[in-house]
Amino acid sequence: MSKRVLTTESGAPVADNQNSASAGAGGPLLLQDQHLLEKLARFNRERIPERVVHARGSGAYGHFEVTDDVTGYTHADFLSEIGKRTEVFLRFSTVADSLGGADAVRDPRGFAVKFYTAEGNYDLVGNNTPVFFIKDPIKFPDFIHSQKRDPFTGRQEPDNVWDFWAHAPEATHQVTWLMGDRGIPASYRHMNGYGSHTYQWTNAAGEAFFVKYHFKTNQGIRSLSSEQAAELAGKDPNSHQTDLLQAIERGVHPSWTLYVQLMPAAEAADYRFNPFDLTKVWPHKDYPLQRVGRLVLDRNPDNVFAEVEQAAFSPNNFVPGIGPSPDKMLQGRLFAYADAHRYRLGVNHTLLAVNAPKATTAQNYGRDGFMAVNGQGRGAKNYEPNSYDGPVETGRPLSAPLAVSGYTGNHSAPLHTKDDDFYQAGELYRLMSQEERARLVANIAGGLSQVSRDDVIEKNLAHFHAADPEYGKRVEEAVRALRED
For the cut 90, the answer to whether the pLDDT of residue 377 exceeds it is: no
Distance (Å, rounded) from C-alpha 45 to C-alpha 40?
A: 9
Half-sphere exposure of 188 (CA within 13 A, CB side): 31
List, by residue number, the catalytic residues: 54, 127
DSSP H or E stretch at residue 208: strand 208-217
Q: Count other Cβ atoms within 10 Å, centred on residue 167.
A: 14
Contacts for 27 with CB less than 8 Å, ≥ 6 apart:
none
Closest CA to 41 of 13, 14, 9, 6: 9
| Count of alpha carbons within 13 angstroms of residue 24, beta-carbon side | 3
Distances (CA, A) of 61 to 127, 219, 316: 18, 18, 21
Per cent of the chain over pLDDT 90 is: 83
Cβ atoms within 10 Å of 468's Cβ, excluding its own: 20
One-letter amino acid identity for 334?
L
Question: Is residue 389 scored above 70 in pLDDT?
Answer: yes
pTM for the whole structure: 0.94
Reported as a single tens digit per residue, the pLDDT across 49-105 is 999 999 999 999 999 999 999 999 999 999 999 999 999 999 999 999 889 899 999
Cis peptide before 130 (omega within 30 of 0): no
Q: 201 pLDDT exceeds 90?
A: yes
pLDDT digits (tens, 9 = 90+) for 291-328: 999 999 999 999 999 999 999 999 999 999 999 999 99
